[in-house]
Amino acid sequence: MSQELHALFSQLELSLPFVKPSSTTLACEDPSSGAVVGHLAQDDKPSTLVKIDAAARSFAALREVPAPVRGAIVRAMGERLREHKQALAQLVCAEVGKGIEEARGEVQEMIDICDYAVGLSRMIGGKTLPSERPDHRMFEQWLPLGPVLCISAFNFPVAVWSWNAAIALICGDPVIWKPSLHAPLSAIAVHGLLQPLLASAGHGDAMQLVIGPDDTVAKTLVDDVRVPLVSATGSCAMGRAVAPRVAARLGRTLLELGGNNAVIVDATADLELAVRAVAFGAAGTAGQRCTTTRRLFVERSIAAALTDKLVAAYAQLSERVGDPRDAGNLIGPLIDASAVGRFSAMVAHAKRLGATVLAGGSSIHDGELGAGHYVLPTLIRVPDSLDLDADFAPMQTETFAPILYLRSFPNGDLARAISWQNSVEQGLSSALFSDSSRAIERFWSPAGSDCGIANVNIGTSGAEIGGAFGGEKATGGGREAGSDAWKAYMRRQTCTINGGETLPLAQGISWSST
């Protein structure tokens, strides 16, 4: 693995920065083998403060660069990523165990957001609004905000950073990146590829990478008033730790936290479509997307037919668990041993409560896969006799693993399925499979899905960058990537100019000392 990493870094024209292990270094583990492959130096509080300071100082110049010129820098970044797509995908695959095809998709997502941001750099305009006063003009303009802290998770180690970075940079904001400690190498490679492009435009300090522990480095970053926006992706627990700290200094947060996403399949649905989407949504990325399908509600009249098809699909999928570098495998390992522990504990808990494991249910320990953190994609049927709200806690939990719970709902009772879907703390993604326009409209109505993403006849995961990405409730409410998500990275200024010779006051107030 270490040789593989050296080779990938040299393809990227970078050198692998492994150092001798010490009490302050970070051990990098290969999830596919469980082996420690090297050690990295970490930031501490003083070095973090130096980087914040550099980012804050770089803002003074970056904010004055015209947005389309900033866009040209981001265009060069997209080109650089295109050139190195394959090697970068291989690195992501090796470091976090994501299947190579999905890893290529992740780098493509980076390229797409760069393209999007380039166009956006000519479109981040404000409105002109009618003034109530004669000879007055009122308009709003959007101005750069300041350094943005991007905390990213291991499961999308580079794409989610790029959603933030590409948009922040065209908005005129420096970006400080705090990657997951499970994925520092991908971050080092992306930084090594892209930061020189900013440097050659004279803004090298506008891209900072900070690798280090949460109790010192993350806290220092989160608490610093020079960082007006903290954009954090990760667990709800992480969001609950970060949000109050930023709020205490009246900073802004953009949170993209957990998901406990459901698919509803009604009796009119195309079952082949539904099975494919559910299998990808539940087992893709080994169940480690925030958009992973974790719950499936099926109308009773088709429950047996859909279950049979899913069991058959899972049997095939379980043959394709293995080394993520092999394109023949669709499911790689979980990120570490504790993730396997949580998977096993949750399967055991579900069984104790009376649920039936229809597929998978165990981790894999065989010679071929060594000590990698592999588990089988798992399908669990929850009996109709269990009251979902009171008797079946596992469905309320986002276990970051490929566990899908299946439960039937009474014929004709879509409202029940929607209320089950909404009955979790998170509100990220949701999907309905149906050919009934009434059902679809119900799903999208104010009484329908309470999630930030509501899909029909496609699954819960795999969103495009052009839409605003994020969710409600404990998912955190933030929106990243497309649509008008850029507004979170700018400050809005309302401007009014009086072009007349008198001073009329708003609200018709008459107030004069003469």
Task: Give the DSSP letter string of 335-376.
Answer: SSHHHHHHHHHHHHHHHHTT-EEEE--SB---TTTTT---B-
Tell me, by CB under 6 A, how many residues bind ligand UN1: 11
Letters for 442-481 (x = contact with ligand UN1 by CB under 6 A, - = none) are: -------------------xxx------------------
Binding flag, residue 58, ligand UN1 (CB under 6 A) = no
Task: Give the DSSP letter string of 182-231.
Answer: T-HHHHHHHHHHHHHHHHHTT-GGGEEE----IIIIIHHHHH-TT--EEE
What sign has the CA pseudo-torsion 277, 283, 288, 294? positive
CA–CA distance, 117 with 480 (Å, rounded to integer): 12
Tokens 């990698």 identify what position? 372
- As measured in angstroms, the least distance from the Cβ of 4 to ligand UN1 is 25
Binding flag, residue 65, ligand UN1 (CB under 6 A) = no
Tell me the one-letter amino acid at 150. C
Residue ranges in 187-246 that form contacts with ligand UN1 under rule CB under 6 A: 233
Looking at the Cβ atoms of 195 and 253, the one nearer to ligand UN1 is 253
Binding flag, residue 293, ligand UN1 (CB under 6 A) = no
- As measured in angstroms, the least distance from the Cβ of 281 to ligand UN1 is 8
Looking at the Cβ atoms of 144 and 476, the one nearer to ligand UN1 is 476
Binding flag, residue 156, ligand UN1 (CB under 6 A) = yes
Looking at the Cβ atoms of 178 and 289, the one nearer to ligand UN1 is 289
Q: Which of 75, 289, 381, 407 binds ligand UN1 (CB under 6 A)?
A: 289
Tell me the one-letter amino acid at 416. R
Question: Are residues 142 and 494 in contact, defined by beta-carbon separation less than 8 angstroms?
Answer: no
3-state secondary structure of 274: helix
- As measured in angstroms, the least distance from the Cβ of 408 to ligand UN1 is 26
Binding flag, residue 186, ligand UN1 (CB under 6 A) = no
Binding flag, residue 161, ligand UN1 (CB under 6 A) = no
Binding flag, residue 180, ligand UN1 (CB under 6 A) = no
CA–CA distance, 58 with 440 (Å, rounded to integer): 49
Looking at the Cβ atoms of 121 and 291, the one nearer to ligand UN1 is 291
Q: Which of 160, 218, 350, 376 binds ligand UN1 (CB under 6 A)?
A: 160
Closest CA to 423 of 396, 400, 403: 396
CA–CA distance, 370 with 502 (Å, rounded to integer): 82
Q: Which of these ranges, 285-293, 308-316, 379-387, 440-448, lies near ligand UN1 under the rule CB under 6 A?
A: 285-293
**Burial class of residue 125, CB neighbours in 10 A (0-12, 13-18, 19+):** exposed
Q: Is residue 83 annotated as part of the catalytic site, yes or no?
A: no
3-state secondary structure of 279: helix
Q: Which of 121, 291, 293, 475 binds ligand UN1 (CB under 6 A)?
A: 291
**Residue with smallest beta-carbon separation from ligand UN1:** 463
Looking at the Cβ atoms of 37 and 403, the one nearer to ligand UN1 is 403
- As measured in angstroms, the least distance from the Cβ of 260 to ligand UN1 is 13
Question: Are residues 164 and 232 in contact, defined by beta-carbon separation less than 8 angstroms?
Answer: no
CA–CA distance, 72 with 117 (Å, rounded to integer): 10
CA distances from 472 to 246, 449, 464 (A): 19, 11, 18
CA–CA distance, 236 with 219 (Å, rounded to integer): 17
Looking at the Cβ atoms of 102 and 224, the one nearer to ligand UN1 is 102
- As measured in angstroms, the least distance from the Cβ of 432 to ligand UN1 is 17
Catalytic residue among 95, 106, 109, 256: 256
Looking at the Cβ atoms of 372 and 462, the one nearer to ligand UN1 is 462
Looking at the Cβ atoms of 220 and 421, the one nearer to ligand UN1 is 421
- As measured in angstroms, the least distance from the Cβ of 160 to ligand UN1 is 6
3-state secondary structure of 58: helix
Q: Which residues bind ligand UN1 (CB under 6 A)?
A: 153, 155-156, 160, 233, 289-291, 461-463
By annotation, the residues acting in catalysis are 256
